[in-house]
Amino acid sequence: MEGFAGKVCVVTGAGSGIGQALAIELGRSGAKLAISDVDIEGLAKTEAELKAIGAPVKADRLDVTEREAFLLYADEVKAHYGKVNQIYNNAGIAFTGDVEVCDFKDIERIMDVDFWGVVNGTKAFLPHLIESGDGHVVNVSSLFGIFSVPGQSAYNAAKFAVRGFTEALRQEMITKKRPVQVTAVHPGGIKTAIARNATAAEGLDPKELAQEFDRKLARTTPERAATIILEAVHKKKARVLVGADAKILDVIVRITGSGYQRLFSKVLSKAAPNVH
Ligand SMILES: NC(=O)c1ccc[n+]([C@@H]2O[C@H](COP(=O)([O-])OP(=O)(O)OC[C@H]3O[C@@H](n4cnc5c(N)ncnc54)[C@H](O)[C@@H]3O)[C@@H](O)[C@H]2O)c1
155 is catalytic: yes
Do the beta carbons of residue 65 and residue 36 sit within 8 Å? no
Do the beta carbons of residue 262 and residue 269 sit within 8 Å? no
Indicate whether 276 pLDDT > 50: no
Of ligand 1's atoms, which has the minimum distance to the CA of residue 190? Answer: 3
185: containing domain: 8-271
- Give distance in angstroms: CA of 247 to centre of ligand 1: 21
Has residue 2 been placed in a domain?
A: no
Q: What is residue 15's three-state secondary structure?
A: coil
- Give distance in angstroms: CA of 178 to centre of ligand 1: 29
pLDDT (0 to 100) of residue 266: 76
Catalytic residue among 81, 88, 155, 260: 155
Has residue 1 been placed in a domain?
A: no
Q: Which residues of 85-94 are buried (b: 16+ CB within 10 A; e: fewer)?
A: bbbbbbbbbb
273 — pLDDT class (breaks 50, 70, 90): very low
Distance linking the first and last C-alpha atoms of the chain: 42
Has residue 276 been placed in a domain?
A: no
199 lines ligand 1 (CB under 6 A): no
Has residue 27 been placed in a domain?
A: yes
Overall domain count for the chain: 1
Has residue 28 been placed in a domain?
A: yes
- Please report, for the domain that includes residue 136, its CATH number: 3.40.50.720
Q: How much is the pTM? A: 0.97
Has residue 218 been placed in a domain?
A: yes
16 lines ligand 1 (CB under 6 A): yes
CA-based max dimension of the chain? 54
pLDDT (tens digit per residue) in 12-70: 999 999 999 999 999 999 999 999 999 999 999 999 999 999 999 999 999 999 999 99
Has residue 3 been placed in a domain?
A: no
Sheet of 239-242: strand order equals 57-61, 32-37, 8-11, 86-89, 135-140, 180-187, 239-242
Ligand 1, atom 41: closest residue by C-alpha? 92
Of ligand 1's atoms, which has the minimum distance to the CA of residue 15? Answer: 39
Indicate whether 259 pLDDT > 80: yes
57 vs 46: CA distance, rounded Å: 10
**HEC secondary structure over 57-75:** EEEEECCCCCHHHHHHHHH
- Give distance in angstroms: CA of 262 to centre of ligand 1: 29
Residue at 220: amino acid letter: T
162 lines ligand 1 (CB under 6 A): no
